[in-house]
Chain A
């Protein structure tokens, strides 16, 4: 099974977050990953158990790139960085 991670939007400000080993991060590079169905489901269950923090938690496909973990689909790549037409906005600006 391809590598999976959990993403969501943070309740308070709606920003993109990723489930880590110990909590949540704004950086996909920090995400906890799973490579079996059971492990992926366990990650998702852990995220869904925190409805007061994360909205719309779901599994996404990720891969190891040169600079660490990154999403496979370009929709998720855009979510992890910010709008491609505004390099000054989103996480890519940091």
Chain B
């Protein structure tokens, strides 16, 4: 993992002390709320429905065991014993006190974490593949490039007041697990015909009230040019992006309005001025960052573990968990274990202080002290020996973290909704709870197979409903909660925006409607066909008919 150098440490520590002074001046009355609000937001401190909310950045979703343990401690000491992992691989605390926020930031700084740029019209935390450094299909480790982007974008003076917030995602594998096509800038690590590594640069993707799939801007940028090209992309957006209308200020609107070709021409022209200058990445610096992500000391192991194989036969519950929650590792004898934060009837993404501390312990014991956060609101232990997998599963069960539902309709992605969020129009969590209870039967859940279901409590789409195979959007109709359903969205390399299936459903109807959609898929699927594939073959019609009757 990347370890802070003196510069990183000083920057973060200085920010803590600066914020401590700002909080003191706000409480003493020297600063008005109007003056203070932008300052607290620059440090991730929002005011939500019930209390303040602190959003802490988890850079590209990676945590050390020490950091995870600290997140648990903060939940216990400064909050109400839990935290919420978000769809941007971050963590949010729902009940921090303003007066204690500087102490929380100081505790985070001790473990090389912070809340800088988790709000505001700046470049937010860069997100990435939670299986980075472990995935069998990886071309190069995206953390190396995400960390370089983190350093470049942190307190970048030119890009601290953009027209609107800005999100960058990086994938190092052709199977996109970072949803790069619905980000302001998406980066795909590729290999050219000469075998060299470089980057595809995509721009203009996004969700919210105007969902759009990113357009390819350049098919190959060499590693040394990554920052100069990014700087050119940002500069063109900063110059031409609209500032007159908040709803038209994201880069997706610019790329859509002037067209990808014109945007590309502007970027290329800008880049000619930048590319051979100070923004060129020195090889030594790339090597320094890469060294921080050197693989851990993997043992030489047989590809097959006898213990694991035996347990698969003996223990059906274990076999089921392995089938849904374990992924192939690039090194023989190891596996990637996904920890579901979606217990039946639970709150998607929530973890207690004790669970966080337990995961930290498991990471130390079984995964080279590494943990990842996924944008699906789950956790990952990226490097577990097949020989240890059964013991890990037993240990997860003891802290209720062994739900075998990753990638299924039980693995629901949901924003906090109106239970916490001041922007929401409707609740998300109770809908997710009822749906997960409806599909609690594991035989049925596994028979349904791969299916993503996403719920947002407002059009800002933090629950990524536009790209769920089934998407649910909460709306307020004359003071009552209603839920609009979309089908066919996907967040992978074949990203697509879901289509509205018909009129919205009431709170009482929405669970039945989801079951009807799933049953319609079961009736129509061909052998081996996933939900989204059946939808793509048949379109909305059979689902519409099942839900609303023949037209």
Complex-state Cα separation, A78 to B426, whole angstroms = 11
B430 contacts A85, C-beta separation under 8 Å: yes
Residues A51 and B33 in contact, CB atoms below 8 Å apart: yes
- Contact between chains at A56 and B430 (CB < 8 Å): no
A84's contact among B47, B48, B99, B419, by CB below 8 Å, is which? Answer: B419
With contacts A73-B479, A85-B433 known, is A9 near B51, CB below 8 A? yes
B47 touches A15 (CB 8 A): no
Q: Are A15 and B51 within 8 A (Cβ)? A: yes
Other-chain contact of B50, A56, A73, A79 (Cβ < 8 Å): A79
- A85 in complex: contacting residue of B29, B80, B347, CB < 8 Å: B347
In the assembled complex, the CB of B80 is this many whole angstroms from the nearest CB of chain A, namely 6
B47 touches A56 (CB 8 A): yes
Q: A78 near B418 (CB under 8 angstroms)?
A: yes
A14 within 8 A of partner (CB): yes
Is B479 a contact of A83 with CB atoms below 8 Å?
no
Q: Shortest CB–CB separation between residue B181 and chain A, in angstroms?
A: 32
Q: Is residue A16 within 8 Å, beta carbon to beta carbon, of the partner chain?
A: yes
Contacts of B99 in A (CB 8 A): 12-13
Known A78-B419, A89-B80: A13·B50 in contact at CB below 8 Å: no
A14 to B95, CA, bound (A): 8
Instruction: Compute how far the CA of A16 lies from the CA of B49 in the bound complex, rounded to whole angstroms.
Output: 8
Which residues of chain A are within 8 angstroms of B96 by Cβ–Cβ distance?
14
Is A11 among interface residues, defined by CB-CB distance under 8 A?
yes
Q: A48-86 toward B: CB 8 Å interface, digit per residue (1/0)?
A: 000110011000000000000000011100110011111
B429 touching A85 by the CB < 8 A rule? yes
Taken residue by residue from 82 to 112, chain B's Cβ proximity to chain A (1 for < 8 Å, 0 otherwise) reads as 0000000000000111110000000000000
Distance of B471 from chain A, by nearest CB (Å): 21
Chain A residues with CB under 8 Å of B481's CB are 74
Would you call B47 and A9 a contact (CB within 8 A)?
yes
CA separation between A16 and B481, bound complex, in Å?
A: 23
The answer on a CB contact under 8 Å between B32 and A51 is: yes
Q: In the assembled complex, how far is the CB of residue B33 from the closest CB belonging to chain A, in whole angstroms?
A: 5
B contact residues around A51 at 8 Å (CB) = 29, 32-33
The total of interchain contacts (Cβ-Cβ below 8 angstroms) comes to 67
User: Which residues from B are CB-within-8-Å of A82?
Assistant: 50
Tell me if A11 and B26 are in contact (CB < 8 A). yes
**Complex contact B49–A79 (CB within 8 A):** yes
Q: A13-B98, A55-B33, A84-B430 are in contact. Are A78 and B49 (CB under 8 A)?
A: yes
A55 to B47, CA, bound (A): 9
A82 to chain B, nearest CB (A): 6
B97 engages A75 (CB within 8 Å): no
Determine whether B366 belongs to the interface, using a CB cutoff of 8 Å to chain A.
no
Chain A's nearest CB lies how many Å from the CB of B512?
20
Collect the chain A residues with CB atoms within 8 Å of residue B418's CB.
74-75, 78
On whether A12 and B27 interact (CB within 8 A), knowing A56-B47, A79-B50, the answer reads yes
Please name the residue on chain B nearest to A16 by beta carbon: B50
Q: Mark B124-168, 1 if CB is under 8 A from A, else 0.
A: 000000000000000000000000000000000000000000000
Which one of A13, A15, A56, A85 lies within 8 Å of B419 (CB-CB)? A85
From known contacts A82-B50, A84-B419, A85-B419, infer whether A14 and B27 are also in contact, taking CB-CB under 8 Å: no
Residues of B within 8 A of A12 (CB): 27, 97-99
From A13, A56, A73, A86, contact of B51 by CB (8 A): A13
Interface membership of chain A positions 1-43, coded 1 if the CB is closer than 8 angstroms to chain B and 0 otherwise: 0000000010111111000000000000000000000000000
CB distance from B457 to the nearest CB of A (A): 11
Which of B33, B50, B98 is most buried by chain A, counting CB atoms within 10 A of its CB?
B50
In the complex, A8→B283 CA distance in Å? 54
Complex CA gap A84/B50 in Å reads 12
Residues of A within 8 A of B427 (CB): 84-85
A14, B479: Cβ atoms under 8 Å? Answer: no
Point out the residues of chain A lying under 8 angstroms from B368, CB to CB.
none
Interface residues of B in 28-61 (CB under 8 A from A): 29, 32-33, 47-52
Does B420 reach chain A (CB closer than 8 Å)?
yes
Question: Do B97 and A83 touch across chains, with their CB atoms under 8 A apart?
Answer: no
Q: Which residues of B contact A79 (CB under 8 A)?
A: 49-50
| Identity of the chain B residue whose Cβ is nearest the Cβ of A89 in the assembled complex | B80
Which residues on the B side are within 8 Å of A73 (C-beta)?
A: 479
Nearest chain B CB to A71 CB, angstrom units: 11
Q: What are the residues of chain B within 8 A of A14 when measuring CB–CB?
A: 47-48, 50-52, 95-98
Contacts A11-B26, A79-B49 supplied; 18 other A-B pairs, CB < 8 Å: A9-B47, A12-B98, A12-B99, A14-B50, A14-B97, A16-B50, A51-B32, A55-B33, A75-B49, A78-B419, A82-B50, A83-B429, A84-B430, A85-B347, A85-B419, A89-B50, A89-B95, A90-B50
Residues in B lying within 8 Å of A, measured CB to CB:
26-27, 29, 32-33, 47-52, 80, 95-99, 347, 418-420, 427, 429-430, 433, 479, 481
8 contacts between A and B (CB under 8 A): A12-B27, A13-B97, A14-B95, A51-B33, A55-B47, A56-B33, A78-B49, A83-B420
Please name the 7 residue pairs, one residue from A and one from B, whose CB atoms are nearest each other, closest first.
A14-B52, A14-B51, A83-B419, A13-B97, A85-B429, A52-B29, A79-B49
